[in-house]
Chains A and B, each alone.
Chain A
Amino acid sequence: MIRPVTLCFPLVYLILTMAGVASHAADPQAGFQGYPEAPAFTVLPREAPLKNYPCMRCHDFLKVKTEPRQLRAPHPELDHGAGRFWCLECHDPENRNSLRTTPPIATNSNEIHTLCGRCHATQERDWYFGAHGKRVGLWQGEREILDCVRCHNPHQPAIQPRKPQPPPAVRSGLERPAGRPEPVVPIWEQAVDGLEQPREQQHE
C-alpha cells in the first residue's frame, strides 16, 4: 500500500518548481554565479598588463600539443598541482586567450577567481566573504579586494619564504635574552609515558 505521504513529495516539488522557488538551479550554461549573499565588491585590476597577451598572436599558428614537455621562454616554469597539471588544465586549447571556466574568461581577466575556485572552492568562498584574500583602502563603504593572482603566481602558487623585518629593540640598559627558554615537555607526551608503563606491566 502506498502511503499518502509518499505521494505528497513529487506534488510538493512540482508546485514549488512552478512557483519559481527552486529556480536557483536554472541555466546550467551560466555556471557558478558567485555567492549572492556575499557583500558586494570590486576587484582591483592587475598592476601590470600581461607581457605576452594576447596568446593567440603566436598560438594561432602553432599546433596544440597536449603531452607535457619542458617549457621554454617566454613561458614560466609550471609548479602547480604537484606535477599533475599541464597548461591545458587551465588554458583553453582552442582559444589560448581565454581560460577554461564556464563561461570562458580572458586570460587577463579580473575574474580569475572563477578559475581558481574550480579546485580551491573553500578558499574561493572565504574570498567572497572576506576571510581569505586582502581588502585594500577602506574598511567602510565600497569593498575593494585583490584578486587571487595578485598574491599567488598561478604558475608557482606557493609563496616563497623571505627575510623578516628586523626584530624589536631591547630597551636601553637591558640585554636581549641569550636564547629561548628550555622547552617544556608537553603534557600529552608526559601522559603517554605514564599510560604505557602500567600496560606493559599488565602483560608481564
Chain B
Amino acid sequence: MVWNNHENSNMSDQHDVSTQSAGTVTVPDPHRRRLLKQLGIAGAAGTTAASAPAWGGSTLLDALGGFFQDQYQRMSPSEIEAALARIERKAKRDLGVDIHCDNTPPQAGVVFGYALNVSRCRGYRDCVQACIQENNHGRDPSSTAYIRVLELDHGQMNLEQADQYYDPETVPVPGKYYLPVQCMQCADPPCVKACPVEATWMEPDGIVVVDYDWCIGCRYCMTACPYWARHFNWKQPTIPADQVNPDTHYLGNRPRPVGVVEKCHFCIQRTRKGRLPACAEACPTGARVFGNLLDPHSEIRYVLANKPVFQLKSELGTEPKFWYFTD
C-alpha cells in the first residue's frame, strides 16, 4: 500500500477496499516511506501483510500456488493448467471479466518474421491503438505501448533525431517519414542474455517471450535492448471491464502485474492460431507483411527476396526477424 500514495486516482478498486477494511493505513510521512523502501521486499513481509489486502487479494490457496509457481519452461502440464486457472480467477477478481488463458504451443516448421514497408507507412498510429486494445495494456495516461512510431526527416536515419510524440493536424507531414519500431524478435537477442533469472527466452517459433510471473523487474533487459522495445509496468495496468480482451495467452496478453517487464510478442495468442497480429490487421495502408520465414511461398519470403530490405541497427549483430523495406 505504501507505493500507491503517489499514484493517481484510477488505481484498482481492490486496493481501495482493502485499505478501508484493514483500517490501519494512513499516508505515511516521507521519512517512514523512505525507510520502508530501504527495507525492501525481504523485510516488508510483515508490513505488507498488515497493509495490503489479505493474500494480495487472492484466496490463500491461490496466493500459495502463485508463490511456489515455477518458471514456465520447467512447469509440468498439470502445473501449467493450475497456473492458467489461477490467472483466470485473478482476472475475474481484479477486472471482473471472464477471460480465457491458454498456452497454445508453437507450430512445427514455423518461424515468424515481419516486414514493414517504410514507403507505405503514413504515421497514422492505428497499429499502436490496435496493439493497446489487443494486448490488454492499461488505458490510463501513463501506460505502456509496444509500438513506437518515429517521425524522421527525409534522408535522415539518425534515431536520436526522431520524434515519437508528433501530433500534427494531418499526417503524413511533407518532408517527413515514419518508422514504426517494436520488438524485432532478434535471432540473437541481447535481452535474453541480460536476464539474470531466465525469465525471458526465445520460443521455437522465434518469438522472444517473458514469463511475467518469473520476472523480478530488474530491467537489465531494457538496457540491453538496442531497440527500446521492452517496457516496464510502473503501475498496475487498469482496464475498463468492457475493454478487456478475453482471448489471452500465458506468454502473451494476459493481464500483467505491476513491476515486471513486457514486450511485443507478435500477438502470440493470435499468430499461433494462424491469425495475423493485431498491428498488421489494423494497418490501413497494408504496410505490414507477416508470415512464416520457413515457407518459401510466403509473402514475407517474397519481400525478402525481391525488395530492398534493411534491418534496424543491423551492425549490432542481433539478427532481427523484423525487416523494413521500400517499394
Binding site for B on A (CB under 8 A): 39, 122-123, 126, 129-141, 146, 151, 159, 161-172, 176-177, 180-181, 183-184, 186
Contacts and interface: CB of A to CB of B under 8 A. Distances in A.
Contacts of B252: none
A151 B124 CA distance: 15
Interface string B277-321: 000110111100111100001111011001100000000000000
B67 interface: no
Given A159-B285, A161-B172, A183-B161, A139 B274 contact: yes
Given A131-B307, A132-B286, A169 B142 contact: yes
Given A163-B170, A172-B235, 7 more contacts: A135-B289, A151-B284, A159-B285, A162-B170, A165-B129, A168-B148, A172-B142
B42 to A, nearest CB: 26
13 contacts: A129-B306, A130-B299, A130-B300, A131-B117, A131-B289, A133-B286, A134-B283, A139-B291, A164-B125, A164-B168, A172-B142, A172-B234, A176-B165
A167 B156 contact: no
Nearest to A131: B303
B198 interface: no
A104 B235 CA distance: 61
A194 to B, nearest CB: 19
B307 to A, nearest CB: 6
B167 interface: yes
Name, among A134, A162, A166, the residue most crowded by chain B CB atoms within 10 Å (CB to CB): A134
Given A131-B302, A168-B128, A176-B165, A138 B276 contact: yes
A136 B148 contact: no
A169 B275 contact: no
Nearest to A165: B125
B172 to A, nearest CB: 6
Given A162-B171, A183-B161, A170 B297 contact: no
Given A162-B170, A177-B165, A139 B275 contact: yes
A180 B161 contact: yes
Contacts, number: 119
Given A164-B171, A167-B164, A139 B128 contact: no
Interface in B131-185: 141-143, 145, 148, 153, 155-156, 158, 160-161, 163-172
Contacts of B7: 172
Which of A132, A133, A170, A181: most chain B Cβ within 10 A?
A132
A135 B171 CA distance: 24
Contacts of A166: 125, 167
B166 A167 contact: yes
Contacts of A138: 274-276
Contacts of A136: 276, 281
Pick the 9 closest A-B CB pairs, nearest first. Answer: A130-B299, A134-B286, A165-B125, A140-B274, A161-B170, A172-B142, A129-B302, A167-B165, A164-B171
Given A39-B299, A165-B125, A172-B8, A151 B142 contact: no
A171 B234 contact: yes
Interface in B44-79: none
Contact of B124 (A164, A170, A171, A180): A164
Contact of B166 (A151, A164, A186): A164
B186 to A, nearest CB: 20
Contacts of B161: 180-181, 183-184
A165 B234 contact: no
B307 A167 contact: no
Contacts of B291: 130, 139
B173 to A, nearest CB: 8
Interface string B226-248: 00000000110000000000000
Given A126-B327, A139-B291, A162-B124, A168 B164 contact: yes
Contacts of B299: 39, 129-131, 135
Nearest to B303: A131
Contacts of A181: 160-161
A204 B283 CA distance: 58
Given A168-B128, A168-B145, A169-B143, A130 B302 contact: yes
Nearest to A41: B299
B158 A184 contact: yes
Nearest to A180: B163
Nearest to B112: A139
B122 interface: yes
A151 B285 contact: yes
Contacts of B8: 172
